[in-house]
Amino acid sequence: MLNNLTCFAFTPEQIVFFGDSLSDNGNLYHLLLKIIPKSPPYFEGRFSNGPTWAENLGTYFYNQFYIDYKIYAYGGATAILHTPTDKFIAPMTLENEINQYTFDSIFKNKHAVLYAIWIGGNDYLFDATTNDIPSREILTNKVVAKIIWSIETLISQGAKHFLILNMPDLSFTPFAKTNGLVDKLHDLSVLHNRKLDAEMINLKNSYPKVQFTYIDIYKILNELITDPGKFNDMYHVNITDTVHACWEGGYTFARTIEEINRDGNLNQLSRDSHFPLNGMIRYSPALAESFRVNLAFNRGLMPCNNADEYIFWDQIHPTKIVHYILAEYILENLNLNIT
């Protein structure tokens, strides 16, 4: 249960979330006819074993204030357009999500809506596993610029309140360690946050009447991984494994693709769903990982029996306990940071 707020400087009329699998509450699952992520072993279309931080936060505001929330996040979504083939294969981009919301809310007053944006991880996972990698400066510039574009687009439509989350250290994921990408993903995470920090300062100066809450996810997750006991005491949880995934396997991305190819069902699933699942999965580590877990589940394998003690559900995505902690932390900092 999320903590109560004693004084909240701004009470929104609605909360709208944009992002990727870390915020998706089943959008991709329903778009792809319940193929990815398969449920079970994933929880009702979430890329975890329970509700996401966005749902936890939204549910709190609904229960306390009857405030509605809407999630536009999609698993596998990227901030920018990536074209490894002649067709783009990510299921969604940030711009797609913003455009869909704009269409849905043409006549809506946006002054009292809180907009939450958390995206970029798939851009870095995507490029870290391909041979044709742009310079880290160019890639991070583009990703951060698109995030700022989304904020300014919403401001131009009347938005006044934002919740922005920076990049966790992707090098801590089991995926990074299994694939030898620790240094690369650490550098990308740090560079992304350095640039986003600077741009957020510029935004605050450029739009003094707009309220921004900027959450340092990098810091909070690093502290959770290095000192879980602190958070166990604070949030009454019992995290003990900060290294391994509850769904073990340890396959490299290349090995995962080999497993998917051997399965032989992907082409049929693509035909049945009328979506290019082959491309989506082969070029998206997050989607490939969820499909790998599905294959393992179909072979009779099971996850750990104590998932609440783990940070990672699979090699990329956190458990529901981590989502719970993030929602608690963000709620506390909304109270502190919104002025």
**Cis before residue 84, ω within 30 degrees of 0?**
no
Supply the pLDDT for residue 6. Answer: 33
Give pLDDT tens digits for 82-123: 765 444 456 789 999 999 999 999 988 999 999 999 999 999
Higher pLDDT, 279 or 314: 314
242 confidence band (pLDDT: 50, 70, 90): very high
Distance CA 321, CA 316 (A): 15
CATH topology of domain 14-337: Rossmann fold (3.40.50)
Supply the pLDDT for residue 264. Answer: 58
Q: Specify the length of the chain in residues.
A: 339
Share of the chain above pLDDT 90, in %: 70
Share of the chain above pLDDT 70, in %: 82
Q: What single DSSP character describes residue 309? A: G
Does this model's pTM top 0.85? My answer is yes
Domain boundaries, the chain: 14-337
Angle at 121 between CA 50 and CA 184, to 5 degrees: 125
Alpha carbon separation from 306 to 47, 215, 233, 237, 322 (Å, rounded): 17, 29, 18, 12, 14
Distance CA 163, CA 23 (A): 13
Give pLDDT tens digits for 34-68: 888 999 999 999 999 999 999 999 999 999 989 99
Taking Cα atoms as reference points, which of 204, 228, 230 lies closest to residue 337? 204
Tokens of 99: 């455009």
Does pLDDT of 148 surpass 80? Answer: yes
Q: How far is CA 134 from the centre of its chain?
A: 22
Distance CA 176, CA 93 (A): 23
Contact 78, 90 (CB under 8 A): yes
Q: How far is CA 83 from the centre of its chain?
A: 21
Phi, psi for residue 277 in degrees, rounded to 5: -60, -35
Taking Cα atoms as reference points, which of 153, 165, 117, 168 lies closest to residue 15? 117
Distance CA 211, CA 155 (A): 11
Supply the pLDDT for residue 260. Answer: 63
Q: How far is CA 6 from the centre of its chain?
A: 29
Does pLDDT of 127 surpass 90? Answer: no
321 confidence band (pLDDT: 50, 70, 90): very high
Taking Cα atoms as reference points, which of 160, 150, 158, 40 lies closest to residue 97? 150
Alpha carbon separation from 29 to 57, 69, 241, 259, 274 (Å, rounded): 21, 19, 28, 21, 14
Distance CA 202, CA 212 (A): 12
